[in-house]
Amino acid sequence: MLSYPSALPDPELLTLKDGTQVIIRPSRPDDAEDLQSAFQRLSMESIYLRFLSVKKELLDEEARYLASVDYTSRMAFVGICKENDRDIVVGVARYAMLENVHSEIAESAVVVEDEYQGRGLGKQLLRRLVSYARARGIHSLRGNLQIGNDRMLDLVQRSGLPYQQHYVDGFWEVTIDLGVPDEELSDLGLPSTAELASTFDAEQCALTIHNTDTERAICRKYSIRVRKAPAEYVLAFTRQLLFKHGHRWQAYELIAGHNAAYLSLGADELEELGQGINSWWSTDSFARTLSGPAWRDGLVTDELIIKWAKSPDLWWRRAALVSTVAFNIRSQGGKGDVPRTLTICRMLVADHEDMVVKALSWALRELVYFDPGAVEGFIQEHEGVLAGRVRREVGSKLRTGLKNPKRKEAISR
């Protein structure tokens, strides 16, 4: 086995979202044969999308060139999995500095073996490549994509980094801005994320009146302060707020207010940010601010929310139901989604935990605005198992437009 310079990043062992373990490390010259094997396992579609043409094999000379990077102007990371007691290459991310142009721009590409696509490996490979390129003064990664390469466009979007997309000679030319290098954060007036979180916490603690308005004013101040920071910085800052200082809803709102940080959210990030939800307010803050909108906007799949609906933890089950609300509130971008909403409601229709029952009522009541007939049919179909609260509150919403018309009548008196 050949080695590579000791200054390079150490191999990183990761667990993908389906439980698969993968090692990401810099490429070595002796990877050439494994790259050829990986090429042979790619589908014709993946080959066409990666190489922009039909290609039947990766020649020995090509494989040696791709494996033998110089770790500066040309760099590659490989994803290694164990299969039949043998290490195999299942993904590659690489860049090459463009010749005769500005040295801060590099061409890049990411490819993942078909069997391993959809598990989050591409995102992890790109994350490692971006970090390495940024540290070496590269400001932009550029690549040409086939029209219809939606998977790669989705990967770019989920990176959380700003990008430009232009149609050039029959391809999408996509340029990713690597954001602000760490050494330049001071130019934005930003300290380390730990320092910023401590300052935020001190301002919160110094408030003489603690309520949503006074605390949200501080959130707005810091949202403006970090608006030009890269997504990674904002996520690191909000993790400090959440896990070290306990400012949960504030962390969620800061992420939601930073477009790049929000767009970088995936299943792994949401489940990390949802750790510790243990009350109706912490759960609803998470689901209404982050997970629901992320689901609505296609950042996560139905499978994630279904997984939560099956959780033994009642707060994750509540989060699944509350996440449906984002589909059905017009004022916040909801356009109505009967199938997704009722799928989650159906899974929890017989769950009589009080916090789950209340969330089920809420989910169905929000859907009434878009399809009262579907909600009425759901109530009739499951009348025998639904909790009384759900039948009563949703029935009232269908008849009067109100959850509790008697309470409004009493208030008006």
Confidence band, pLDDT 50/70/90 cuts, at residue 411: very low
pLDDT band at 412 (very low <50, low <70, confident <90, very high): very low
- Is the model more confident about 236 or about 94? 94
Q: Does 328 lie in the same domain as 238? A: no
Q: Is residue 155 part of a domain?
A: no
For residue 234, tell me if it sits in a domain: yes
In this prediction, residues 256-276 reach a mean pLDDT of 90
Mean pLDDT of the chain, nearest integer: 87
Give pLDDT, residue 410. 44
Q: Find the mean pLDDT for residues 255-280.
A: 91
Q: Provide the domain count of the chain.
A: 3
pLDDT higher than threshold 90 for residue 265: no
Mean pLDDT, rounded, for 334-360: 96
What residues does 175 pair with on adjacent strands? 142, 164
Which residue would you say has higher pLDDT here, 371 or 151? 371
Q: What is the CATH number of the domain that holds 83?
A: 3.40.630.30
Q: Does the pLDDT value for residue 169 go beyond 90?
A: no
Average pLDDT (115-126) is: 88
Return the percentage of the chain with pLDDT > 90, whole number: 53
User: Which tokens hold the place of 217?
Assistant: 């004013």
* Residue 413 reports pLDDT greater than 50: no
Does any domain span residue 182?
no
Which phi and psi angles does 97 have, rounded to 5°?
-60, 140
Measured between alpha carbons, how far is 352 from 110 in angstroms, rounded to an integer?
47
Q: Is the pLDDT of residue 7 over 70?
A: no
Query: pLDDT per residue over 288-312, tens digit each?
Result: 999 999 999 988 889 999 999 999 9
* The pLDDT of residue 119: 86
Answer yes or no: is pLDDT of 101 > 60: no
- State yes or no: pLDDT of 227 exceeds 70: yes
Residues 366, 297 share a domain:
yes
The answer to whether residues 328 and 292 belong to one domain is: yes
Burial label for 2, CB within 10 Å (0-12, 13-18, 19+), is exposed
In a domain, 399, yes or no: yes
State the pairing for strand pair 74-83/140-145. unpaired
- Sign (positive/negative) of CA torsion 405, 406, 407, 413? positive
Q: Are residues 327 and 394 both part of a single domain?
A: yes
Residue range of the domain that includes 209: 188-264
Query: Is there a domain that residue 113 lies in?
Result: yes
Are residues 252 and 325 both part of a single domain?
no
Q: Which long-range contacts (CB under 8 A, 24 or more apart) does 377-386 make?
A: 378/342, 378/345, 378/346, 382/346, 382/349, 385/349, 385/350, 386/349
Burial class (CB in 10 A: 0-12, 13-18, 19+), 53: exposed
Question: Which of 238, 264, 290 is the C-terminal boundary of a domain?
Answer: 264
- Tokens representing residue 51 in the block: 């190489």
pLDDT, tens only, 20-41: 889 999 999 999 999 999 889 9
Indicate whether 27 and 65 sit together in one domain: yes
Instruction: State the pLDDT at residue 161.
Output: 72
Same domain, 255 and 305: no
Same domain, 70 and 36: yes
Query: Which of 57-61, 108-112, 316-320, 400-404 is the least confident region?
Result: 400-404
Of the residues 108, 134, 160, which one is the last residue of a structural domain? 134
Residue 36 domain-assigned (yes or no)? yes
Lowest mean pLDDT among 43-52, 221-230, 338-347: 43-52
Same domain, 247 and 298: no
pLDDT at 187: 65
Give the whole-number percent of the chain exceeding pLDDT 70. 92
- Specify whether the CB–CB gap between 95 and 106 falls below 8 A: yes
Asked whether residue 409 carries a pLDDT value surpassing 50, the answer given is no
Better-predicted residue by pLDDT, 396 or 166: 396
Q: Does 152 fall in a domain? A: no
- Residue 324 shares a structural domain with residue 234: no
Q: Largest alpha-carbon pair distance within the chain?
A: 86
pLDDT bracket for residue 160 (50, 70, 90): low
Domain assignment of residue 232, yes or no:
yes
Do 288 and 384 share a structural domain?
Answer: yes
Note whether 350 and 253 are same-domain residues: no
On whether the CB atoms of residues 350 and 313 are closer than 8 A, the answer is no
Most confident of the following: 45-59, 154-168, 390-404: 390-404
